Amino acid sequence: MKSPIENKIHTVFVHVSDLKRSVQWYSTLLGQNVNLDEVKPPVYNVPINTYTGLVLDGGPNGGKEYVGLLPHPLCNLHAPDIDEAYQFVSEKGFEINSEISRFDDIEFFTVKDPDGNVIMLCTG
């Protein structure tokens, strides 16, 4: 029997403890303008230029029970120039979780969002 489930990631959920703070952080990271007065709990759909979406989920209890549970990246975001991306997040004062790793076909490093969620920024 053919599965009725498509072989695609539709949405990545990031559980956050302070929705507006996280919306500001991700908006800054992705170079997006945001009006925080328009952010209404419990979730915010980050505008993404691909099929897969990114949802910041404050949850019914503010998300505090979910944060920091995973030490590995929840997802990766594409950065065509890894050195430029590293400099950008460094200048913004974001917490850099790992130095740049370089391989033949991929370069990446990780940052932590305000709740300690690890996000990978990578080329390739």
CATH number of the domain to which 100 belongs: 3.10.180.10
Mean pLDDT in each 10-residue stretch from start to end of the chain (124 residues)?
A: 69 88 96 95 88 71 60 83 94 94 87 91 83
Q: What is the pTM of this model?
A: 0.75
Quote the CA–CA distance of 87 and 43 in Å, as a whole number: 30
pLDDT at 4: 63
Quote the CA–CA distance of 91 and 44 in Å, as a whole number: 25
Is residue 18 a part of any domain in this protein? Answer: yes
Quote the CA–CA distance of 22 and 28 in Å, as a whole number: 10
Q: Which domain holds residue 32?
A: 11-122
* pLDDT tens digit sequence for 75-102: 888 899 999 999 999 999 999 999 998 9
Is residue 51 a part of any domain in this protein? Answer: yes
Domain total in the chain: 1
Quote the CA–CA distance of 19 and 106 in Å, as a whole number: 32
Share of the chain above pLDDT 90, in %: 40
